[in-house]
Structure 1
Amino acid sequence: MTAQEPTLKSQYAEKVTADLALNTAEQERIRKEIVSLQENLTGLEQDHELLVGMRAAIGDTPTAVPAPRTGRKTATSARKPAAAKSATTADTKKATAKKATAKKATAVKTVAKKPAAKKPVAEKAAAAKEKPVPLTELIHQHLSGQAEPKTAREIAQALTTAYPDRNLSDNLVRTTTERLVARSLAERAKQGSTVYYTAIQHNTPAAEAPAAVPAQTENAPVATTA
């Protein structure tokens, strides 16, 4: 038994060490998944704000019908039958209801079109440090600076080189780039079994993108199938 004690102790020590290594690796994997999910959530929130603004912009606003003026009673109106008075009252109520509805719709449309208050430069700088640049913007910046179409893997490798602190998988980059295609900020072209992406430039502020990722940070990856 005495000769076996060191052996058993070493076996337990090795097992505990292996379990600790697995635990640490699992924690790191989960952290990376959280970062990836946060990227997707940020993109969906931006799409939601864009769609809400578009819906408010194209919504039909009822035409306001002015209510009849009150306080001027003539001898002729005093002699109207009770049925005519009831009809006038009903018309007045309808006009008032339409006017209230028109005011509400106008207020909602005004709020949707009202530009956000400008933040001071210091607050903008602090917000930029706290909140990372959305992946959709990074991809659009990179594609805007490329002379040739790029695959999702090429984009992912270039952005990983430029931003090593962000966990960018090929699948995440492909999904986000397809979101740009859906928003008419990029276009896709398929050659054989390989899909290439190209940025689309617009004159609207929402589609303008800053300078692209420097070309020297790319690793010149080989095009792969999407």
Structure 2
Amino acid sequence: MTDAPLAGRVALVTGASRGLGAAIAVVLASAGAQVVAAGRNAAALEETDDRIRATGGLPATLLPIDLRRGEDVDMLGPTIAQRYGRLDIVIGNAGVLGRLGPVTHLPAKDWAEVIGVNLAANWHLMRTTEPLLRASDAGRAVFITSGGLDSPTAYWGAYGASKSALEHLAVTWARELAITNVKVNLFDPGVVRTRMRAAAFPGEDPMTVPAPDDVAPKILPLCLPGEMRSGNVIRG
């Protein structure tokens, strides 16, 4: 790779099994990063690794994990520290749509899953990776958010609440790390052709929506050592 601005850096991507997460993993690997790909589907993670290798990237480290299990997320930092001794980039991409419907009709298990994956898992991710990001000369954390949170939409209560809370949490973390080398931002990719999008809008022609591979490169600048923004929501 002639252009490798992330050479020598280690990047963790959650939700890297498919969709936007897989595309981000490929982009970071193509930029020279050693990618640690985390997700629930081991076979799909292997497909992500195949894509990375096909672009000339370093073989990824694959971590099958259920992000709903906070104790498992807590082990990501120590596991990466043991394997690589460093972590420079964290991409909190994993997310679930959950059941759409009136907020008072949502089953408790559906509410718990949406909050667990979209919010609580990222809190655990912050806790377990902060020591490594602080030790980096340019720690970078990016969390995937969603547009339209300022205008709540009927039947999207759980998903909207989880993403709004994630934005608040990430910006708070950014301010707490203001005097460190760690920069924390959120990235709103806009509409993307994913399984989540198809589930939310089943009547939509997917070919009218940008593919993950078209959107993922927009996140690269937020991961570079020269990125100085922090505590911002960047719209794709």
Shared fold (TM-score, shorter chain, > 0.5): no
Higher helix share: 1
Q: If the length of structure 1 is used for normalisation, what is the TM-score?
A: 0.21
Higher strand share: 2
